[in-house]
């Protein structure tokens, strides 16, 4: 891994129903896919200190489900869950997305990866069923922090002696 891409995610709102976050990682596509989809990795980057991941289960197949929960420093519990609609390793997953704090909000999450010259571009898209749902997405500090933690996880896997 060459550059430190800390805080480099680009957030876009292509229309009133979607949020798209893009981030590059200096890592091979297969490893980035594993870090995005295997519980032993997601549990390491899915919650950032002082938050603590308490559950992470992933059944990576069409019709399989995922569920993750974490506790914040003040004791608040957050969770995400959904069902996989498409799984195309190592380039794409599509799944339903539900957040326990917004019970009426429905979205479809698409995660896509493309690799060029050893750099993998991760595109994360949330397509909400209505504008009111999308309007909940006003702060992205947690996503930036998680993607930074994901970068640290990739670095540690690529160069364990420097971790």
Residue 31 counted as domain residue? yes
Residue 1, in any domain of the structure:
no
Would you say residue 161 has pLDDT above 80? Answer: no
Question: What pLDDT does residue 14 have?
Answer: 94
Which domain does 78 fall in, by range?
10-158
What are 53-105's pLDDT values in tens digits?
999 999 999 999 999 999 988 999 989 999 999 999 999 999 999 988 888 88
Which tops the pLDDT comparison, 94 or 160?
94
Give 66's strand partners.
Answer: 58, 82
Numbers of helices and strands, H then E, in the chain: 4, 8
Domain assignment of residue 118, yes or no: yes
In a domain, 163, yes or no: no
131-147 CB burial, b ≥16 within 10 A, e <16: eebbeebeeeeebbbbb
Query: Are residues 35 and 45 in contact, defined by beta-carbon separation less than 8 angstroms?
Result: yes
The pLDDT, as a whole number, for residue 162 is 60
- In the chain, the number of structural domains is 1
Helix, strand or coil for residue 118? coil
- Does residue 3 lie in a domain region? no
3-state helix, strand, coil in the chain (%, to 5): 25, 40, 35
pLDDT tens by residue, 95-149: 999 988 888 889 999 999 999 999 999 999 999 999 988 888 876 557 888 899 9
Run of H or E including 157: helix 141-158
* CATH label of the domain that carries residue 55: 3.30.530.20
In a domain, 108, yes or no: yes
The three-class DSSP label of residue 98 is: strand
Each residue's pLDDT tens digit, 11-44:
999 999 999 999 999 999 999 999 999 999 999 8
User: Does residue 2 sit within a domain?
Assistant: no
pLDDT at 1 over 60: no
pLDDT at residue 52 tops 70: yes
Asked if residue 90 is part of any domain, the answer here is: yes
């Amino acid at each position: 891994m060459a550059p430190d891409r800390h805080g480099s995610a680009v957030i876009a709102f292509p229309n009133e129903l979607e949020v798209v976050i893009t981030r590059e990682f200096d890592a091979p596509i297969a490893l980035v896919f594993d870090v995005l989809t295997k519980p032993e990795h997601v549990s390491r980057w899915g919650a950032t200190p002082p938050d603590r991941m308490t559950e992470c289960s992933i059944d990576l197949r069409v019709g399989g489900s995922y569920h993750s929960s974490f506790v914040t420093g003040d004791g608040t519990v957050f969770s995400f869950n959904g069902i996989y609609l498409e799984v195309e390793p190592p380039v794409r997953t599509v799944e339903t997305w539900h957040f326990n704090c917004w019970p009426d909000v429905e979205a479809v999450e698409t995660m896509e990866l493309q690799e060029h010259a050893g750099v993998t571009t991760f595109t994360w898209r949330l397509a909400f069923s209505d504008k009111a749902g999308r309007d909940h997405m006003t702060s992205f500090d947690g996503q930036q922090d998680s993607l930074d933690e994901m970068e640290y996880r990739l670095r540690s896997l690529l160069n364990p002696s420097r971790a």
